[in-house]
Amino acid sequence: MKISDFLSPAEVLFGLRVEDRDELLREFARMAATKVKLPDSEIAAELLKRETLGSTGMGEGVAIPHARYAKLRKPFGMMAKLKQPIEFQAIDNHPVDLVFLLLLPATTEGEQLGALACVARKLRAADELAKLRRSKNSAELYAVLTA
């Protein structure tokens, strides 16, 4: 599985301004709702519920919020490079500026794990993070993510 299988250039956001994690997740939910044909309130509720189990902030300024949805047929992703880093209760207690949202089908474990592993591998590499942070627009972000 490749990131381009579930992330389109239109779903890459550059310079997104939000105050905190909850606002970010609600904003992602609002933007994703029309794309995945689910109510934004349902998306936001599941994302917030997932965060109560443990932060999806994986350290180094990166978070991968994700949740499962029974009505979803294939993985859907969105990526944001935030204008200002926000508190995300990440495992290293550092603020987050790179966030990859993953909405996953509830029924296909292999596909879920494949999408999540693919994103985690990409966002764990220090050289890739440096390239993402040097990106000047959403097209450059997408190019780095899908290279």
Secondary structure of residue 136 in the 3-state scheme? coil
Is residue 66 flagged as an active site residue? yes
**29 with 40: CB under 8 angstroms?**
yes
Pairing mode of beta strands 96-105, 66-69 = parallel
Of residues 21, 66, 81, 122, which has the active-site annotation? 66
User: CA gyration radius for the chain?
Assistant: 14
In the block, tokens 């294939």 appear at 74
Tokens linked to 95: 């603020």
Return phi, psi of residue 20, to 5°. -155, 175
- Which positions are annotated as active-site residues? 66
